[in-house]
């Protein structure tokens, strides 16, 4: 386990396995504080600035909830495209050179891939990437991994199936990069033709000790009894045309009936929000863990802020 020494967290791409394990361990150690069972306030005096160019429920609110629980404060821009000076045409670099004066750490969500890395160049405070276009979503991945770790007790030797719009889903990108850093991981990538995982991610994965199977058949993937099945929303806002969207819309819908074809209790994850790809009949399936993911999001985001802001942490 090793803390991240870089100023910012812009992607899983830049994290080592040791960094991931450090963050997950810290998340569990912070849990009593975040739950209000301890008087410790490790981030007292620190302010989080959230600046979101795209909509969010879980990511922004869990960042804020964690910061408040850890004793810090929060200022928030939740609809930057309309209610900030972005509406008047302000550039990302000018926005960052302004808002870094207002807090000690920035959680940034943006519609362009690479925005967090660019922001990091202009910011004097740490940037945490809260999603950059179709590129990466590292905090989502850390909470996904914590959920898997809690349920399965390991991150090595697992078989994960990812299903949906793998071309545009940043959460799928980041978890693919992350689990490729662990040993003996098998990926089943379930997607229609034209919605494949981006080539640069596949290239990194293929350079690691992983097995990759690509298919269009969700039931077939379930019958192969993966440990984890990660359903993904079709990222409608990233499509150029209605026609392109219709090529995948309605293609996959996971139901309880589909899961009951096998005896294994598969851990079902979803980054949320779900739309049509994950039926409510799955909600009381014992493997359904998507609302646990939202709980774990508070822990890992708290851990990432604490790690970046408190180099001398003692708990
Ligand atoms: C995701 C996102 O914004 O990338 N939401 C989230 O953070 N949990 C996924 C999505 O919008 O489909």
Residue 301 Cβ inside 6 Å of ligand 1? The answer reads no
Q: How confident is the model at residue 244 (pLDDT cuts 50, 70, 90)?
A: confident
Q: How far is CA 311 from CA 6, 304, 314, in A?
A: 11, 12, 9
CA distance 230 to 209: 21
Q: What is the mean pLDDT of residues 86-96?
A: 96
Task: State the pLDDT at residue 315.
Answer: 65
Per-residue pLDDT at 314 exceeds 80: no
Q: Residues 200-225: pLDDT tens digits?
A: 999 999 999 899 999 999 999 999 99
- Whether 137 sits among the annotated catalytic residues: the reply is yes
Bridge partner residues of 230 (DSSP): 162, 269
Cβ neighbourhood burial of 274 (10 Å; 0-12, 13-18, 19+): middle
Mind giving me the DSSP string for the chain? Answer: -----SS-B--GGG--HHHHHHHHHHHHHHHHHHTT-S---TTTT-EEEEEESS--SHHHHHHHHHHHHTT-EEEEES-HHHHSGGGGT--HHHHHHHHTTS-SEEEEEESSTTHHHHHHHH-SS-EEEEEETTTB-HHHHHHHHHHHHHHHS-SSS-EEEEES-TTT-HHHHHHHHHHTTSSSEEEEEE--TT-PPPHHHHHHHHTSSEEEEEES-HHHHHHT--SEEEE----GGG-S-HHHHHTTTTS--B-HHHHTTSSS-PEEEE-S---SSB-GGGTTSTTB-HHHHHHHHHHHHHHHHHHHH-TT---
Task: State the pLDDT at residue 97.
Answer: 98
Residue 233 CA: which ligand 1 atom is closest?
12
CB 2 within 8 A of CB 18: yes
- Site to substitute for ligand 1 among 135, 140, 173, most atoms within 8 A of C-beta: 140
pTM of the model: 0.96
Ranking 143-157, 231-245, 277-291 by mean pLDDT, the lowest is: 231-245
Give me the phi and psi of 32, to 5 degrees please: -60, -35
Q: How confident is the model at residue 313 (pLDDT cuts 50, 70, 90)?
A: confident
Residue 59 Cβ inside 6 Å of ligand 1? The answer reads yes
Residue 131 Cβ inside 6 Å of ligand 1? The answer reads yes
Q: What is the mean pLDDT of residues 192-207?
A: 95
| Contacts (Cβ under 8 Å, ≥6 apart) of 86 | 53, 80, 95
């Amino acid at each position: 386990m090793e803390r991240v020494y870089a100023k910012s967290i812009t992607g899983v791409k830049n994290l080592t396995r040791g960094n991931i394990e450090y963050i997950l361990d810290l998340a569990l150690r912070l849990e009593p504080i975040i739950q209000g069972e301890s008087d410790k306030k490790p981030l007292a005096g620190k302010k989080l600035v959230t600046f979101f160019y795209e909509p969010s429920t879980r990511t922004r609110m869990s960042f804020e909830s964690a910061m408040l629980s850890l004793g810090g404060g929060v200022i928030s821009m939740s609809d930057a495209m309309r209610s900030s000076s972005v509406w008047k045409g302000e550039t990302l670099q000018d926005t960052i050179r302004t808002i870094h004066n207002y807090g000690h750490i920035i959680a940034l969500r943006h519609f362009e891939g690479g925005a967090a890395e660019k922001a990091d160049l202009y910011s004097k405070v740490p940037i945490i990437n809260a999603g950059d276009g179709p590129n990466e979503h590292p905090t989502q991945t850390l909470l996904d991994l914590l959920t898997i770790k809690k349920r399965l007790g390991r991150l090595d030797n697992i078989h994960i199936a990812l299903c949906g719009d793998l071309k545009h889903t940043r959460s799928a990108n980041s978890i693919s990069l992350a689990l490729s850093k662990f040993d003996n991981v098998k990926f089943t990538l379930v997607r229609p033709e034209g919605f494949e995982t981006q080539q640069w991610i596949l290239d990194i994965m293929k350079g690691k000790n992983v097995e990759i199977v690509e298919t269009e058949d969700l039931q077939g993937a379930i019958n192969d009894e993966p440990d984890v099945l990660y359903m993904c929303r079709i990222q409608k806002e990233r499509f150029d045309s209605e026609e392109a969207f219709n090529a995948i819309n309605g293609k996959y819908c996971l139901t309880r009936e589909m899961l009951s074809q096998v005896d294994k209790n598969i851990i079902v994850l979803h980054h949320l929000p779900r739309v049509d790809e994950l039926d409510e009949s799955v909600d009381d399936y014992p493997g359904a863990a998507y609302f646990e993911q939202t709980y774990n999001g508070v822990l890992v985001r708290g851990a990432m802020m604490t790690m970046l802001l408190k180099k001398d942490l003692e708990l």
